[in-house]
Amino acid sequence: MKIHHICIQTDNYDNSLKFYKNILGFTIFKETKNFHQRAYNTWLELDSLMIELQTKKENQKLIDFSKNSKGINHICFLVDDVEEEYIRIKKLGYNKFKRKNNSDIYIVENEKLLKMIAPEGTIIEIRDTQMIK
Protein backbone atom coordinates (compact mmCIF):
# COMPACT_ATOMS: atom_id res chain seq x y z
CA MET A 1 0.00 0.00 0.00
CA LYS A 2 1.18 3.54 -0.81
CA ILE A 3 -0.10 6.96 0.09
CA HIS A 4 -2.07 8.32 -2.83
CA HIS A 5 -2.18 11.96 -1.68
CA ILE A 6 -2.57 14.36 1.22
CA CYS A 7 -5.46 16.84 1.06
CA ILE A 8 -4.98 20.31 2.51
CA GLN A 9 -7.75 22.92 2.76
CA THR A 10 -6.95 26.60 2.65
CA ASP A 11 -8.76 29.89 2.91
CA ASN A 12 -5.79 31.69 1.32
CA TYR A 13 -5.24 29.83 -1.93
CA ASP A 14 -2.68 32.17 -3.48
CA ASN A 15 -0.35 32.16 -0.47
CA SER A 16 -0.66 28.39 0.07
CA LEU A 17 -0.03 27.68 -3.62
CA LYS A 18 3.05 29.93 -3.64
CA PHE A 19 4.37 28.21 -0.50
CA TYR A 20 4.07 24.67 -1.85
CA LYS A 21 5.46 25.68 -5.25
CA ASN A 22 8.14 28.22 -4.40
CA ILE A 23 9.30 27.10 -0.95
CA LEU A 24 8.85 23.30 -1.11
CA GLY A 25 9.28 22.81 -4.86
CA PHE A 26 5.96 21.21 -5.83
CA THR A 27 4.65 21.67 -9.37
CA ILE A 28 1.04 21.96 -10.45
CA PHE A 29 -0.19 18.66 -11.85
CA LYS A 30 -3.78 19.81 -12.41
CA GLU A 31 -5.69 22.94 -11.38
CA THR A 32 -9.50 22.96 -11.49
CA LYS A 33 -11.60 26.07 -10.92
CA ASN A 34 -15.14 25.91 -9.51
CA PHE A 35 -14.81 22.36 -8.19
CA HIS A 36 -17.79 21.16 -6.10
CA GLN A 37 -18.49 24.54 -4.47
CA ARG A 38 -14.79 25.30 -4.13
CA ALA A 39 -13.00 28.08 -5.98
CA TYR A 40 -10.04 25.74 -6.65
CA ASN A 41 -9.05 22.12 -6.33
CA THR A 42 -5.40 21.77 -7.32
CA TRP A 43 -3.16 18.74 -7.50
CA LEU A 44 0.49 19.41 -6.67
CA GLU A 45 3.31 16.95 -7.27
CA LEU A 46 6.80 16.48 -5.84
CA ASP A 47 8.52 13.23 -6.80
CA SER A 48 5.94 10.58 -5.86
CA LEU A 49 4.05 12.73 -3.33
CA MET A 50 0.78 14.37 -4.34
CA ILE A 51 -1.00 17.12 -2.40
CA GLU A 52 -4.57 18.03 -3.17
CA LEU A 53 -4.81 21.72 -2.28
CA GLN A 54 -8.37 22.91 -2.11
CA THR A 55 -10.10 26.08 -1.12
CA LYS A 56 -12.91 26.07 1.37
CA LYS A 57 -16.43 25.49 0.10
CA GLU A 58 -18.65 28.50 -0.53
CA ASN A 59 -20.05 29.92 2.73
CA GLN A 60 -17.73 27.64 4.77
CA LYS A 61 -15.50 28.95 7.55
CA LEU A 62 -12.38 26.94 8.22
CA ILE A 63 -11.09 26.57 11.77
CA ASP A 64 -7.42 27.31 12.47
CA PHE A 65 -5.16 24.30 13.05
CA SER A 66 -4.27 23.48 16.62
CA LYS A 67 -1.67 21.07 17.97
CA ASN A 68 -4.55 19.74 20.04
CA SER A 69 -6.54 18.67 16.96
CA LYS A 70 -7.12 15.02 16.21
CA GLY A 71 -5.78 13.55 12.99
CA ILE A 72 -2.68 14.47 11.03
CA ASN A 73 -0.42 16.77 13.06
CA HIS A 74 2.27 17.61 10.51
CA ILE A 75 3.93 16.59 7.25
CA CYS A 76 7.65 15.82 7.34
CA PHE A 77 10.07 16.05 4.41
CA LEU A 78 13.52 14.47 4.28
CA VAL A 79 16.33 16.66 2.90
CA ASP A 80 20.08 16.18 2.59
CA ASP A 81 20.98 18.92 5.09
CA VAL A 82 18.56 20.75 7.42
CA GLU A 83 20.84 23.76 7.81
CA GLU A 84 21.29 24.18 4.03
CA GLU A 85 17.52 23.84 3.54
CA TYR A 86 16.92 26.45 6.24
CA ILE A 87 19.27 28.88 4.48
CA ARG A 88 17.58 28.20 1.13
CA ILE A 89 14.12 28.84 2.59
CA LYS A 90 15.23 32.02 4.37
CA LYS A 91 16.78 33.33 1.11
CA LEU A 92 13.37 32.88 -0.51
CA GLY A 93 11.99 35.24 2.15
CA TYR A 94 10.00 32.68 4.14
CA ASN A 95 10.29 33.11 7.90
CA LYS A 96 7.30 31.47 9.59
CA PHE A 97 9.17 28.91 11.67
CA LYS A 98 8.15 27.22 14.92
CA ARG A 99 10.87 28.06 17.40
CA LYS A 100 12.06 25.83 20.21
CA ASN A 101 14.63 26.84 22.80
CA ASN A 102 14.89 30.21 21.01
CA SER A 103 16.03 28.58 17.74
CA ASP A 104 14.49 27.73 14.36
CA ILE A 105 16.63 24.57 14.06
CA TYR A 106 16.68 22.31 17.08
CA ILE A 107 17.57 18.79 18.22
CA VAL A 108 15.04 16.05 18.96
CA GLU A 109 16.48 12.66 19.94
CA ASN A 110 19.90 13.62 18.54
CA GLU A 111 18.46 14.70 15.16
CA LYS A 112 18.31 18.23 13.74
CA LEU A 113 14.97 19.45 12.47
CA LEU A 114 12.98 22.56 11.78
CA LYS A 115 9.28 23.22 11.53
CA MET A 116 7.52 25.79 9.37
CA ILE A 117 3.94 26.94 9.36
CA ALA A 118 2.42 26.94 5.88
CA PRO A 119 0.07 29.82 5.06
CA GLU A 120 -3.04 27.72 5.76
CA GLY A 121 -1.57 26.49 9.06
CA THR A 122 -0.17 23.07 8.12
CA ILE A 123 2.97 22.28 10.10
CA ILE A 124 5.82 21.29 7.76
CA GLU A 125 8.73 19.50 9.42
CA ILE A 126 12.14 19.21 7.74
CA ARG A 127 14.68 16.56 8.79
CA ASP A 128 17.92 15.24 7.33
CA THR A 129 18.10 11.80 8.95
CA GLN A 130 16.22 8.63 8.08
CA MET A 131 14.32 6.63 10.67
CA ILE A 132 16.36 3.72 12.04
CA LYS A 133 14.83 0.59 13.54
Question: Would the pLDDT of 1 be above 90?
Answer: no
Q: Is 11 helix (H, G, I), strand (E, B) or coil?
A: coil
Give the DSSP H/E element, type plus range, for residue 40.
strand 38-46
Strand 6-10 relative to strand 75-78: parallel, antiparallel, unpaired?
Answer: unpaired
> Is the pLDDT higher at 123 or at 131?
123
| % of the chain residues with pLDDT over 90 | 77
Mean pLDDT of the chain: 92
> Could you count the other beta carbons within 10 Å of the beta carbon of residue 87?
11
> Is the pLDDT higher at 110 or at 46?
46
- The CATH superfamily of 6-55 is 2,3-Dihydroxybiphenyl 1,2-Dioxygenase, domain 1 (3.10.180.10)
| Domain boundaries of the chain, sorted by first residue | 6-55, 75-127
Let me know if the fold of 6-55 is the same as that of 75-127: yes
Condensed to tens digits (0 to 9), the pLDDT of residues 16-36 reads 999 999 999 999 999 999 999
Residue 113: closest CA among 92, 121, 103: 103
| AA identity, residue 24 | L
What average pLDDT does the segment 52-65 reach? 90
| % of the chain residues with pLDDT over 70 | 100
For the structural domain made of 75-127, what CATH number should be given?
Answer: 3.10.180.10
Which pLDDT belongs to residue 11? Answer: 92
What average pLDDT does the segment 88-111 reach? 93
Which pLDDT belongs to residue 119? Answer: 95
CA-to-CA distance for 90 and 7, rounded, in angstroms?
Answer: 26
The three-point CA angle 13-53-32 to 5° equals 85
Strand order in the sheet with 49-55: 6-10, 49-55, 38-46, 27-35
